[in-house]
Homo-oligomer: A and B are copies of this chain.
Amino acid sequence: MPALSAQQFVTRDHTVSLTPEQLLDMHEHMLLARKLDERMWVLHRQGKVAFHISGMGQEACQVGAAYAMERGKDWLHPYYRDMAFVMALGMTPRHLMLALFGKAEDPSSGGRQMPSHFGYAPSRIVSGSSPVATQCPQAAGIAFAAKLRGLDEVVFVCLGEGSTSQGDFHEALNWAGIHNLPLITLVQNNQYAISVPLEKQMPVENVADRGDAYGMPGVMYDGNDIFESYNVAREAVLRGRRGEGPTLLEAKTYRPTPHSSDDDDRSYRSRDEVEMWKKRDPILRMEKALRERGILDDAEQERILHRVMAKVDDATEYSQRAPYPRAEDAMHPVFGGLPHAG
């Protein structure tokens, strides 16, 4: 149950209007992200790629939110763990794999950025940088532009709970509150910022507690529960669409992997803690729920898994074979060209 804050934010059960096909689709999207992610770790262990940063464990809050959006109309300014989110909005395993290998065809950056720096204009996924939280005021600006232009687009922006310590977060929420912007700030609280735990990051228990300070609902929920994730996000979308303003969402979740392939998490957290959270895995929970509802059986799960693995294999092979950028490609594009250059 979301804890309400500041203004009224009543979450109805929007999942009732999801068809079994849609639910299976959501399940498949989570699974696809998970399996692709696992493959990326394997490729890293094999020394085939330089770096991987995982979205594992956070798939439910991401896919739930994606399904609450209108694709091609609403915007996402993502962060580096949003692998499931961006694929649910239209990016493909090939897209992500090409970036992992730094290949020319990588649609996010043509091999310029590190992997997981998603950016894909056809899906209105805005290119992100590495400095955390810079996306927040930018997302407020996208939402502001929509409002100024009279469009009923809503904007999601994602970040980790650690990143809320940045001034950018404060300033963005302030603008969104003042101008009642259709901005949904989705904080994926996985309880660590690399090694730094929540209590060294903020003096409040919940990020959502900060909604009040910006005159907006701060809603926290179980981010490993895709149904709750969908309901809360859908409510926030409808709110934004109706011109009722911004929402701060806090998905409680966990990152079962180290921060990145460069990290070793044993220095800062116990194995027991990690194991405990693995039992709350969002994909296992989804699978169980679908089976309980009679939507999923062994055969169907098998078919899904088969499709997923085929895509993962295809992405891997395709990307390994794909050409690197040429050295001189580095020189472009710096500027777009001036209309009145002469």
Contact = CB atoms under 8 A, between A and B. Distances in A.
Interface residues of A, number: 24
Interface string A171-182: 100100110100
Interface SS of chain A:
helix
Interface in A143-202: 165-171, 174, 177-178, 180, 199-202
B214 A212 contact: no
Contacts of A204: 177, 212-215
Contacts of A214: 203-204
A89 interface: no
Contact of A165 (B171, B199, B210, B212): B171
A32 interface: no
A201 B213 contact: no
Contacts of A203: 174, 177-178, 180, 214-216
Contacts of A213: 204, 209-210, 212-213
Contacts of A212: 204, 209, 212-213
Nearest to A207: B213
A214 to B, nearest CB: 6
Contact of A167 (B167, B202, B215): B167
Interface in A213-257: 213-216
Interface string A43-58: 0000000000000000
Contacts of A200: 178
Contacts of A174: 165, 202-203
13 contacts: A165-B174, A167-B168, A174-B203, A177-B202, A177-B204, A178-B200, A178-B201, A178-B203, A203-B214, A204-B213, A209-B212, A209-B213, A210-B213
Given A166-B171, A177-B202, A204-B214, 19 more contacts: A165-B174, A166-B167, A167-B171, A169-B170, A170-B170, A170-B171, A174-B203, A177-B204, A178-B202, A180-B203, A202-B215, A203-B214, A203-B215, A204-B212, A204-B213, A210-B213, A212-B212, A212-B213, A213-B213
